[in-house]
Structure 1
Amino acid sequence: MMRFNTLLVLFLLSLNSFAQQTYLTEDKVTHYCGPVTEAELRNGAFAEWFTDEDPDFTLPDTAPAWASNLNDTRVEVFLGTWCRDSKTWVTRFLNYWEAAGLDTDQLSFVALYNGDEKYKQGPAAEEKGRNIHRVPTFIFSREGEEFARIVEHPVTDLETDLAQIALGHPVRPAYAGANAMWELLDSQPIDSIYAHGNKHVNDIYRLVSHSTELNTLGYVLLRAGELNKASVVFHFNTFLFRYDPNTHDSYGEVLALAGKTEAAIKSYEKVLAFKPEDENALAQLAVLRGKLEKIEE
């Protein structure tokens, strides 16, 4: 009997090891994290994603001619079950993929955390090295080499973007400025980036659409422990959107974390120049000025 009980415990533990990982957000809502299967998405805690009507999206009646070009393609989907865009575009993508006659075994899904500590990270750092700053992100690859991606949402529409990918002419994904910024950080040392700062700022300026584009990237890097890279991103954003108080607030935050107290104070003072009653800037300045006084004593 004892041997049977031991085997039963081991069996139950093995089942648990394959169970979908979840976590609680600050508002006590359970969300997925880590690898998740299609079946878990369709039939698990977020099954309503696939049962809600979507009047703004229609599926093809027959498989498009170009779909067979994707038969040898793998697609990694990074998503957040807390994310409205993931709810919209992961369901549309999966339903369209099936309607196009493609095999869902070609797809893999990874759910990422929300929140400050592990912002857009996986429990086993599944996103590491994949340049994920928006969800959902769909990464298309052949023989392990990425050749296209869709970031957060299609640029034209899902059918057109997929057709262009299948035909070998992928459109530049959304958030081109953030993508270019990350590629720059991956390809050059920070000293070199600053040495040619004017050129890089001008290059990014042509691609970036809004201050939140780089701001989101900066926080993704910051929560991943990439303090120096995050600092570059926030710094660039203050040049691109110099009259936006939030860009100076974010840069002040990373400067304070780096121990650059005087520079952080100047950054928060710029916030107040544009938004005199900003409560966060006022609070941070009080803390930073107190630190500076103790250093000078």
Structure 2
Amino acid sequence: MKPILFAAALVVAISLNAQNAETYVNKREETHLCGPVTITDLMNHGDGWYQQHYDDFETLQESHPWKKELKDTQVDIYLGSWCGDSKNWVPQFVHLWDELGLDRDQLNIIALYDGDEKYKQGPNHEEKGLDIHRVPTFIFKEDGQEIGRIVEFPSTDLETDLAQIALGYPSAPNYHAATYFQDLLAEKSISEIYEDANAHFYKVYKKVSKSSELNTLGYVMLRSDRVDEALLVFNFNTYLFRHEPNVYDSYGEALTIKGDTVNAIKCYEKVLELDSANENAVQQLALLKTESENQ
């Protein structure tokens, strides 16, 4: 009987192990979640952040007559267990979902990587084609079709944003300039965009408030091998925020990856013109000039 008992125990152990969430260790030697995860996985991760923010949430509305419109809605939630906004908003969203009496089985949660190589990507590229550039991103779907999304934080508040989606009048997602470029690249080629660059510049100028909006979008594209799209976004950012050294640093990095050494050097020289103590620019310039001399 002992071999049978051992085999049974082994099957149970394998089954339990298969249910464990996938994790990885980042450059800071922190362990984080990646890929599909459950609410239990979130509860068990870290220092109790999930339960803390779940308990902190309080509803603002006395009644939610629109909740019945969400009974067949699926919500795909993309988060980073390394991300403060994800730690804040995902537990609050689940609390609201619970309070509305909706089924947790309607929620699909996917954790994305941080870091340079797989920036905001899933282990099986679960985010591919979905224009995820900020986390958390909540994508609401009916019959497989997107009907609205919340990007990073609510446009108004969670209840109002959710009510608007339920009633068919979703708010425009946050980060309007990033959305503009995502929509534009879905409709036009890069050469077509450059042909009308001035018009696009003035449209984006009215939508963007900080250089980090397009810088983040550019890096998401760069790390997912969409180098030409990243170059477009970084290039526009240098005109929108021409006095910020970081935008030239990012553009220079993308140009280096593209193999455009001449223009990468110009970018890093611009960084030093604006910030003479920038160590990364000094290092990159030295490498690029050596490479150029050896060609």
Q: In structure 1, what is the equivalent of residue 233 of structure 2?
A: 233
* Worse-superposed segment, 12-21 or 275-284: 12-21
Q: In structure 2, what is the equivalent of residue 157 of structure 1?
A: 157
Q: Cα RMSD (Å) of the superposition?
A: 2.0
Q: In structure 2, what is the equivalent of residue 200 of structure 1?
A: 200
Name the amino acid aligned to 1:260.
D
Q: Quick check: 1:246 aligned with 2:255?
A: no
Contact 1:251 1:264 in 2 (8 A): yes
Give the SS at the match of 1:33. Answer: strand
Name the amino acid aligned to 1:286.
A
Contact 2:180 2:204 in 1 (8 A): yes
Give the SS at the match of 2:147. Answer: strand
In 2: Cα distance, 1:274 partner to 1:235 partner: 17
Q: In structure 2, what is the equivalent of residue 290 of structure 1?
A: 290
Q: In structure 2, what is the equivalent of residue 13 of structure 1?
A: 14
Contact 1:63 1:101 in 2 (8 A): no
Q: CA deviation at 1:38?
A: 2.0
Give the SS at the match of 2:273. Answer: helix
The C-alpha deviation readout for 1:92-127, integer Å capped at 9, x for no partner, is: 100011112222111110000111111111011000
Give the SS at the match of 2:164. Answer: helix
* Worse-superposed segment, 275-284 or 6-15: 6-15
Q: Mind listing any 5+ residue stretches in structure 2 that lack a counterpart? A: none
In 1: Cα distance, 2:6 partner to 2:56 partner: 54
Percent of aligned pairs sharing the same letter: 49
Give the SS at the match of 2:139. Answer: strand
Contact 1:41 1:47 in 2 (8 A): no
Contact 1:63 1:99 in 2 (8 A): no
Q: How does 1:108-187 map to 2 (within 5 A)?
A: 108-187=108-187
Q: In structure 2, what is the equivalent of residue 24 of structure 1?
A: 25
- 1:279–1:47 CA distance, 2 compared to 1 (3 A): closer
Q: CA deviation at 1:162?
A: 1.2
Q: CA deviation at 1:47?
A: 7.2
Taking structure 2 as the reference length, the TM-score comes to: 0.93
Q: CA deviation at 1:5?
A: 5.2
Q: CA deviation at 1:131?
A: 0.6
* Worse-superposed segment, 221-230 or 60-69: 60-69
In 1: Cα distance, 2:228 partner to 2:247 partner: 16
| Aligned residue pair count | 294
Q: CA deviation at 1:2?
A: 5.9
Name the amino acid aligned to 2:108.
S
* Worse-superposed segment, 141-150 or 20-29: 20-29
Give the SS at the match of 1:146. Answer: strand
In 2: Cα distance, 1:141 partner to 1:237 partner: 32
Contact 2:57 2:95 in 1 (8 A): no
Contact 1:62 1:99 in 2 (8 A): no
Q: In structure 1, what is the equivalent of residue 215 of structure 2?
A: 215
In 2: Cα distance, 1:231 partner to 1:94 partner: 37
- 1:292–1:80 CA distance, 2 compared to 1 (3 A): same
Q: In structure 1, what is the equivalent of residue 84 of structure 2?
A: 84
Give the SS at the match of 1:76. Answer: strand
